[in-house]
Structure 1
Amino acid sequence: MTAYLDHAATTPMLPAALAAMTEQLAVVGNASSLHRTGRAARRVVEESRERIAKAIGARPSEVVFTSGGTEADNLAVMGTYRARREADPRRVRLLVGATEHHAVLDSVEYLLVHEGAEVTWLEPTGAGAVDPETVRAAIESDPDAVALVSVMWANNAVGVVQDVPAIAAIAHAHGIPVHTDAVQAVGHVPVDFAASGVDLMSLTGHKLGGPIGVGALVARRDATLLPLTHGGGQERQLRSGTLDAPAIVGFAAAVEESVATMPDEARRLAALRDAIIVGARELDPEIRVGGGWEPGDTAHRLPGNAHLIVPGCDGDSLLYLLDAAGVSCSTGSACQAGVPQPSHVLLAMGIPEPDARGALRLTLGHTSTGADVDAFLGALPPAIERARRARVATAS
């Protein structure tokens, strides 16, 4: 039996989401059609939009459905840059967290190479947090040239939660819009779109118990951005394509339930997370925690994220050895799986490359139990021993 400890990559669908999606899959109807079946599908979509908006502190009209977090991030970054530069050619600067997901980083890189953008990377502290004063200094060096600030709500690798409201307040004082990738945050920590002050926020279904292939960009009605795709203009003329009513209703059920149960679930997962960290460090005192950690903390670190740095090991070796022992985990973002290089997040945090190569990300979710923790802690010592031997053999 496998102990699944990679919920940040994707988490099993919640029963309510699976039931809602399955029921809708049996119903025909294009939400853009004007006949009765089309109107029924449209009603499902709009009621789902309302449920999601209510759960995250947004207006229904601000929820723009996408295929997931990657598309939402691309639309936010590239769409805003192009619109702002079109309105004012001076707006070529992007202020972006150095530890962002590649959906943001690679969008920025494309704009740098192909569209004349300039970027200021917002370097984090050793704990992985972007200091709001770092954002202030970057803006004030040339505020009239800034098109967008983008800082993720919670980091997918080390689980650090950023002070997004403070960053948004600083940017808004200069009339600059703010995007936050909240893919790892919604349903896991308190998220209120309106109260945060951000202009754009990305989320996705499969990180919180919904289906893969559906997400949303929450965009204030006065947000200025251009579409990346063209066609029917189904979503506020910002995103075209036939709406996937079954996926959307499953997404809505998952957002609703994960947000409603979040306070109790966060405490439960934090206890399991702390058991992983304490147990691992008892087995090997040299193990460090990436991103900082305090027992019971759910305000500054995702409750289900345990990020361990195991010196003298390669993370890939540990991953495969643990996998062979029936434990599924990660060395970082699943989107970078198979790439033999240390996490850009850890390097940006100032962790030396040899140590960064020995990182493990263990993430918990609604199906996680103490048995998963026990399985990991039981498999860890022999995995570390073999991984260290392998590194020594490779070096010699």
Structure 2
Amino acid sequence: MDTVYLDNAATTQLDIEVISAMHESMQTNFGNPSSTHAFGRKAKAALENARKSISALLHVPSSSIVFTSGGTEADNTAINCAVRDLGVTRIISSKIEHHAVLNCVEFLDLENRIKLDFVNLDEHGSVDLSHLETLLKSDTDSKTLVSLMHINNEIGNILDLKAVGELCHTYAAYFHSDTVQSVGHYEMNLSQLPVDFIAVSAHKFHGPKGAGFMYVRNRAQLKPLIHGGSQERELRAGTESIHNIVGLQKAMELAYANLEKEATYIKSLKSYFISSLKEAISGIRFNGHSGDLDKSTYTLVNVSIPLSQAESDMMLFQLDLKGIACSKGSACQSGAQLGSFVLNEVYGKNLDYPGLRFSFSKYTTKEELDYVVSTLKSLSTSKASG
């Protein structure tokens, strides 16, 4: 087996139908959607058709969808606009958020623009909802934004959006959630969820990089962060990338049209992978709730094999040599050659062994997983004996 790609939490392979839709759009929708001539009107129609399609899948008005370059821009826009335009002076978040959120809220705190509180996590890295309520109760005079991701991108833990949203509503707080790892993989009826902002990125569900959107429940009070033209109803200036947005639309339509079938298939792969790893490698640990199919996303597992940091780093290199793509954690941090900040935060001194993240897609096969398990077993056995 030449290559096995198990880093789908970082990015996914483009669906062939998405490529076709984007190719057609690049050929036929090359006009500027802000132009008033026929070419511009055609591009504008494609843009608004994508917005309507996406909003229908999420059960919200099309006016609540603001196209962005991806999840990072959507997260930053939501958080900064909440502070600047909605009068938020306090943010409650967690220390294992994606850096698109974590670095943003820490920067605002450093500039003394907000007071930052971190909610406690349990021994598996899940948010302590009782502590969240305590934090919300502790300062009802300040306008508060709660920013907590739906699915953790490293350990896969799932947050109860409804429970958190209801807590926020009870204490008149705004709620923002990074849903980059969940939209396209889970049904999302935002008309029934008390969430004020979400962030989405197309390349997490077989769409193109450089395309995403922000959902805003009530955009009336918001002003643009990027100034220029009147695109995106004056909330995000810059000529829209029509072919990428069409790709996002197509990827999302495909994801939800085939959701049940593909989710069932990928869940079976994850279950098989977990049982195979347990049988093959003694002492393996599944980090967070990633070994629990009910409490974590079906798209990834994060495991620690009884090896030293140096051996684990070499393991990642050797897996790459054998054509296996996985990661130590978030792709945004991999270039720094650091251990997972998420695992360090969750386990602290109890983090005996570094973690490896394997993430799946509809293109993953059982035969590929067999190859990965046998390779891991061989490498871990040779390390142990050496």
Same fold (TM over 0.5): yes
Q: Work out whether 1:201 is the aligned partner of 2:198.
A: yes
SS of the aligned residue for 2:208 comes to: coil
* Among candidates 194, 204, 207, match of residue 210 of structure 1: 207
Q: C-alpha displacement at 1:351, in angstroms? A: 4.6
Q: Work out whether 1:247 is the aligned partner of 2:241.
A: no
SS of the aligned residue for 1:196 comes to: coil
Q: Work out whether 1:264 is the aligned partner of 2:261.
A: yes
Q: Deviations over 1:161-181 (max 9, x none)?
A: 100111111111222110000
Give 1:318's aligned residue. Answer: 315
Q: C-alpha displacement at 1:146, in angstroms? A: 3.7
SS of the aligned residue for 1:320 comes to: helix
Q: C-alpha displacement at 1:218, in angstroms? A: 0.5
Q: Deviations over 1:229-281 (max 9, x none)?
A: 11113113221110011100110010111122122211111111122221112
Between Structure 1 and Structure 2, how many residues are aligned?
382
SS of the aligned residue for 2:152 comes to: coil
Give 2:97's aligned residue. Answer: 100
Q: C-alpha displacement at 1:225, in angstroms? A: 3.7
CA spacing shift, 1:224–1:152, aligned 2, 3 Å: farther
Give 1:364's aligned residue. Answer: 360
RMSD: 1.8
Give 1:393's aligned residue. Answer: none
1:45-194 matches, within 5 Å, as 45-85=47-87, 91-194=88-191
CA contact (8 A) 1:199 1:219 kept: yes
* Among candidates 295, 300, 305, match of residue 305 of structure 1: 300
Q: C-alpha displacement at 1:301, in angstroms? A: 1.2
Give 1:2's aligned residue. Answer: 3
Give 2:281's aligned residue. Answer: 284
CA–CA separation in structure 2 for the residues paired with 1:140 and 1:387: 51
Partner AA of 1:144 in structure 2:
D
SS of the aligned residue for 1:65 comes to: strand
Q: Deviations over 1:36-91 (max 9, x none)?
A: 10000000000011111111222211110000001001101112112233xxxxx4
CA–CA separation in structure 2 for the residues paired with 1:38 and 1:374: 51
Q: Which moved more, 1:60-69 or 1:128-137?
A: 128-137
CA spacing shift, 1:208–1:223, aligned 2, 3 Å: farther
Q: C-alpha displacement at 1:16, in angstroms? A: 1.7
Q: C-alpha displacement at 1:374, in angstroms? A: 1.0
List gaps (5 residues or longer) in structure 1.
Answer: 86-90, 391-396
Q: Which moved more, 1:266-275 or 1:307-316?
A: 307-316
Give 2:378's aligned residue. Answer: 382
Report the TM-score, using the length of structure 1 for normalisation.
Answer: 0.92
SS of the aligned residue for 1:26 comes to: helix
CA spacing shift, 1:112–1:263, aligned 2, 3 Å: same
Partner AA of 1:122 in structure 2:
V
CA–CA separation in structure 2 for the residues paired with 1:206 and 1:389: 41
Q: Which moved more, 1:64-73 or 1:139-148?
A: 139-148
Q: Work out whether 1:352 is the aligned partner of 2:352.
A: no
Partner AA of 1:35 in structure 2:
H
CA contact (8 A) 1:287 1:310 kept: yes
Give 1:275's aligned residue. Answer: 272
CA spacing shift, 1:293–1:10, aligned 2, 3 Å: closer
CA spacing shift, 1:173–1:234, aligned 2, 3 Å: same
SS of the aligned residue for 1:120 comes to: strand
CA–CA separation in structure 1 for the residues paired with 2:285 and 2:329: 15
CA–CA separation in structure 1 for the residues paired with 2:289 and 2:187: 20
CA–CA separation in structure 2 for the residues paired with 1:112 and 1:40: 44
Q: State, as a whole percentage, how many aligned pairs show the same letter.
A: 34
CA–CA separation in structure 2 for the residues paired with 1:310 and 1:382: 12
CA contact (8 A) 1:342 1:353 kept: no
Q: C-alpha displacement at 1:133, in angstroms? A: 2.1
Give 1:343's aligned residue. Answer: 340
CA spacing shift, 1:303–1:320, aligned 2, 3 Å: same
Q: C-alpha displacement at 1:344, in angstroms? A: 2.0
CA contact (8 A) 1:150 1:179 kept: yes
CA contact (8 A) 2:205 2:251 kept: yes
Partner AA of 1:300 in structure 2:
K
